[in-house]
Amino acid sequence: SVSNLTLLARFGSSASWRVRCALNYKHIEYDIRPVNLLDLSDENGRKLLQLNPASRVPVLIHGERVITESLAIIEYLEENFDGPRLLPSDSYERARSRAIALHIACGIQPVQNIRVTRRVNELMGKGAGKEWAKYWMNLGLKELEGMVSRTAGDFCVGDSVSIADTCLPSIVYKGMAWGVDVEEFPTLVRVEKNLAALPTFEAARPERQPDAPKQ
Amino acid sequence: FIRIMSKDELVLYTIYRSSAAWRVRIALNLKELSYESRVVEWKSEKGYNKSELLKINPAGRIPVFVHNGRVLTESLAIVEYIEETFPGPKLLPSDPFKRHQARAIALHITAGIQPLQIGRTTEKVEEMAGEGKGAEWAAYWLHRGLAELEEMVAKTAGKYAVGDDVTIADICIPSILNNARRWKADISAFPTLLKIDENLDAIPEFAAAHANKQPDSGGASF
């Protein structure tokens, strides 16, 4: 690989999806090594465990460096690679884009991810996980709509793609999967459509990944 | 430490026990910034109550940081903004990889642990699973997340979380360990974290930001 970058990722992982958006948008070449989180016995799985015992994806390997945490990976890409910018040059816009990304990556996603819903089902009975996830998605997306409606142009912050946008497609996708009526969030729907029209973002979608289940 | 009197208008909407506000208080102290602290009293009839907060932040979350009329939310976004905007000690290393490591630690805390044990999450657990279950839930996720964090910092720590300079990673540590103690998560097996916390507590700018040292903590031991 030209840029000696390898991404350990899973097709459906939201955090992986964010990083794929960033890599693609910045036209950074990378090798993808899909990981099956349900069975880490293959070569990619073993590599993941070696690098990240908590077995979280994504992990970006840049030469000797092991880079984790999706938003930290994106900031690393922004600081160490050329290509279209993902952070606005205006400091206020930059802060607002980061705030949107953080609200998604810290405020919504972690509360309804698989390990949490699994535990909810264990503690509160089968089906509770879905009720839990839908509740947090509704609340989180409502707050997100409030934030993004104040800043959005064609994209989350004005008319240029930024770090906030790398987080949007996956959270809208997950919201819909949990049965949230996303039409209640018109700004999010509008921006998500604009992002889906970008080839770099389209190529980051789960169904476009090598480990996506064949239809 | 000395506050720099600035022509900038800085306001922080805060509550003593908010971990996210605590992080921003540390950053403001480290940069020696003078700011107006607006204590939010959610249920109060007047002052900085729920309706006032919702005007400035529709999501109703704390903290909100205002710099010359620019309204900012999300503690890590605020800290990065403070780092970029104001002079003073650097809150991020200049080395690209160490810089990454500091952010990764901060995000492991703010994404991987914090949201799972905040009040609104544990309250939902209690509503769905019954009284007392919120505490169990919080202790579980704190223990699990801090075990992972101990592994991370064991690789990066010097005197502080990443080497021997204070970074954005350290800014997130005191409040999450305080939460662990409050929820009775067992942190005795995390020597690196405990040592870092001890070292941070010796820094006046960190000590002054502690939840128990705020005007609204009312002498409480939080």
Question: Quick count: other Cβ atoms within 10 Å of Cβ A157?
Answer: 29
The amino acid that residue A35 corresponds to is V
Strand runs labelled E in chain A: 5-9, 31-34, 59-62, 65-68
d(CA A122, CA A114): 12
Q: Is the pLDDT of residue B43 over 90?
A: no
Q: What is the pLDDT of residue A33?
A: 96
H or E segment and range at residue B13: strand B10-14
Which residue from A53, A72, A136 is facing B103, i.e. has the nearest CB? A72
Q: What is the pLDDT of residue B58?
A: 80
| A-B contacts at Cβ under 8 angstroms | 105
Question: B163 — alpha (psi -120 to 50), left (phi > 0) or beta?
Answer: left
Q: Is the pLDDT of residue B4 over 70?
A: no
Residues from chain A contacting residue B70 (CB–CB below 8 Å): 92, 95
| Alpha helices (runs of H) in B69-187, residue ranges in sequence order | 75-85, 96-112, 114-117, 119-129, 133-156, 168-182
- Return all residues near A120 (Cβ < 8 A) that are at least 6 apart: A128, A129, A132, B128
Q: Is the pLDDT of residue B1 over 70?
A: no
Q: Do residues A144 and A185 touch, judged by C-beta distance below 8 A?
A: yes
Q: Is the pLDDT of residue A10 over 90?
A: yes
- Residues of B engaging A, defined by a Cβ cutoff of 8 Å: 58-59, 61, 70, 72-74, 76-78, 80-81, 84-85, 96-97, 99-100, 103-104, 106-108, 110-112, 114-116, 121, 124, 128-129, 133, 137, 140, 148, 151
The model's pLDDT over B7-40, given as tens digits with 9 standing for 90+, comes to 899 999 999 999 999 999 999 999 999 999 999 9
DSSP 8-state assignment for residue B4: B
Residues from chain B contacting residue A72 (CB–CB below 8 Å): 100, 103-104, 106-107
d(CA B108, CA A105): 11
Query: Do the chains contact at B81 and A91, CB–CB below 8 Å?
Result: yes
Q: Do residues B106 and B171 touch, judged by C-beta distance below 8 A?
A: yes
Residues from chain B contacting residue A96 (CB–CB below 8 Å): 72, 77
- Return all residues near A65 (Cβ < 8 A) that are at least 6 apart: B97, B100
Q: Is the pLDDT of residue B163 over 60?
A: yes
Chain CA centroid to CA B191, Å: 21
Helices (H) and strands (E) in chain A, counts: 9, 4
The model's pLDDT over B57-79, given as tens digits with 9 standing for 90+, comes to 888 899 999 999 999 999 999 99
Query: Do the chains contact at B128 and A94, CB–CB below 8 Å?
Result: no
Global confidence as pTM? 0.96
SS3 call for A134: helix
| Least confident residue range of B45-54, B147-156, B192-201 | B45-54
Q: What is the pLDDT of residue A22?
A: 98
d(CA A109, CA A68): 16
Tokens read off for B21 = 């506000």
State the pairing for strand pair A31-34/A5-9: parallel
H or E segment and range at residue B73: strand B70-73
How does residue A1 score in pLDDT terms, banded at 50, 70 and 90? Answer: very low
Q: What is the pLDDT of residue B5?
A: 53
| Proportion of chain B above pLDDT 90, given as a percent | 85
What pairs with residue B72 in β-bridges?
Answer: B65
DSSP 8-state assignment for residue A3: T
* Whether the predicted interface score ipTM is above 0.85: yes
Q: What is the mean pLDDT of residues B174-189?
A: 97
CA angle A162, A166, A169 (to 5 degrees): 130
The model's pLDDT over A67-123, given as tens digits with 9 standing for 90+, comes to 999 999 999 999 999 999 999 999 999 999 999 999 999 999 999 999 999 999 999
What is the torsional sign of CA A133, A136, A138, A144? negative
CA distance B126 to chain A (A): 11
Rg (CA), chain B: 17
The model's pLDDT over A167-190, given as tens digits with 9 standing for 90+, comes to 999 999 999 999 999 999 999 999
DSSP letters spanning A46-71: HHHHHH-TT--S-EEEETTEEEESHH
Q: Which residue of B has its CA nearest to A98?
A: B77
Which residue from A54, A72, A124 is facing B128, i.e. has the nearest CB? A124
Q: Do residues B150 and B173 touch, judged by C-beta distance below 8 A?
A: no
How does residue A132 score in pLDDT terms, banded at 50, 70 and 90? Answer: very high
Give buried/exposed letters for B144-168 (b at 16+ CB in 10 A, else e): bbbbebbebbeebbeebbbbebbbb
Interface probe, candidates A5, A77, A92, A104, chain B, greatest B C-beta count within 10 A: A92
Q: What is the pLDDT of residue B92?
A: 98
Question: Quick count: other Cβ atoms within 10 Å of Cβ B95?
Answer: 12
Query: Do the chains contact at B104 and A124, CB–CB below 8 Å?
Result: no
The model's pLDDT over B113-130, given as tens digits with 9 standing for 90+, comes to 999 999 999 999 999 999
Q: Do residues A91 and A48 touch, judged by C-beta distance below 8 A?
A: no
Q: Is the pLDDT of residue A214 over 90?
A: no
DSSP 8-state assignment for residue B188: T
Query: Do the chains contact at A67 and B114, CB–CB below 8 Å?
Result: no
Q: Which residue of B has its CA nearest to A95?
A: B77
DSSP 8-state assignment for residue A153: S
SS3 call for A31: strand
Q: Which residue has the tokens 């430490």?
A: B1
Classify residue B85 by burial, with Cβ atoms within 10 Å: 0-12, 13-18, 19+.
Answer: middle
Query: Do the chains contact at B59 and A95, CB–CB below 8 Å?
Result: no
